[in-house]
Amino acid sequence: PPDLNRLNLDDPESYQLLARGDTVGVFQMEGSGMRRFLTELKPSNFEDVIAAISLFRPGTLDSGMVEPFIHRKHGKESVEYDHPLLEPALRDTYGVILYQEQVMRAAQALAGYTLEQADILRAAMGKKQKAVMEHERVRFIEGAKHNSVDGALAESIFDKIATFASYGFNRSHAAAYALTSYTTAYLRAHFPHEFMAALMSLDMDDADKSYKNIAALREMRIAILPPDINQSRVKFTVAGDAIRFG
């Protein structure tokens, strides 16, 4: 069996499975909307998996962040940065502000914030604290001017950051989810029979989930065998190239 604590995060088959939206049983990626979204995004590296989990949420989907991200990833739109100092913070997300940590890095790079000050800004933006935000706006613009950033540009960047920050996801939280998503995708890509037998066993008390899993097995062209008093175990098991009912 694979050592799940030492998985390579660059397995082509796992990303192909995600890009096809073939994700029944994959953590956080089972819903029909998410599956459709994955076929558009076509994740090809671990950063994309973190981004997928962060992007596919109601506020973010309505914010206008998703289309530019997908278009820029696939080269249909050029990646642009409002200022060259923002590139290190936004390179992994094709110039789109997606994570709370990017708000902090942008404030550090552009306006000379300390990490503590940047965290105050992040919290104020996330909670939409207007009084704190107005105070931070002044500090941000003054700090940016000290870094030779034009005042009007600094104000425009602050407004843009504030808009996206209200939807911004915590990257460290998304990364932990993404690791579980990737691990389940890896297991499904490389051990489909064992993975689906385990999934069927997990969901055996839920009729709706069981129907969905059986439909997935048909798509995967894995036969499902009826119970057999001589062959069946308590739960679903792998039987050659098929899966047998418990």
Per-residue pLDDT tens for 112-132? 999 999 999 998 888 888 889
Q: Report yes or no: 98 and 69 within 8 Å, Cβ to Cβ.
A: yes
Residue 7: pLDDT band (50, 70, 90) is very high
pLDDT tens string 8-31: 999 999 999 999 999 999 999 999
Residue 168: pLDDT band (50, 70, 90) is confident
- HSE of 53 in the Cβ direction (CA atoms, 13 Å)? 22
pLDDT, residue 126, reads: 80
- What is the mean pLDDT of the segment spanning 170-191? 96
pLDDT, residue 40, reads: 97
**Of 95, 104, 83, which Cα lies nearest the Cα of 148?**
83
Q: What percent of the chain is predicted at pLDDT more than 70?
A: 100
In the predicted structure, residue 60 carries a pLDDT above the cut 90: no
In the predicted structure, residue 167 carries a pLDDT above the cut 90: no
pLDDT, residue 125, reads: 85
pLDDT tens string 75-124: 999 999 999 999 999 999 999 989 999 999 999 999 999 999 999 999 88
Average pLDDT, the chain: 93
pLDDT, residue 1, reads: 78
Residue 225: pLDDT band (50, 70, 90) is very high
**Of 10, 210, 115, 185, which Cα lies nearest the Cα of 123?**
115
In the predicted structure, residue 166 carries a pLDDT above the cut 90: no
Residue 62: pLDDT band (50, 70, 90) is confident
In the predicted structure, residue 63 carries a pLDDT above the cut 80: no
Tokens 């994700």, residue? 23
In the predicted structure, residue 175 carries a pLDDT above the cut 80: yes
pLDDT tens string 237-246: 999 999 999 9
pLDDT, residue 18, reads: 98
Residue 59: pLDDT band (50, 70, 90) is confident
Q: Report yes or no: 23 and 185 within 8 Å, Cβ to Cβ.
A: yes
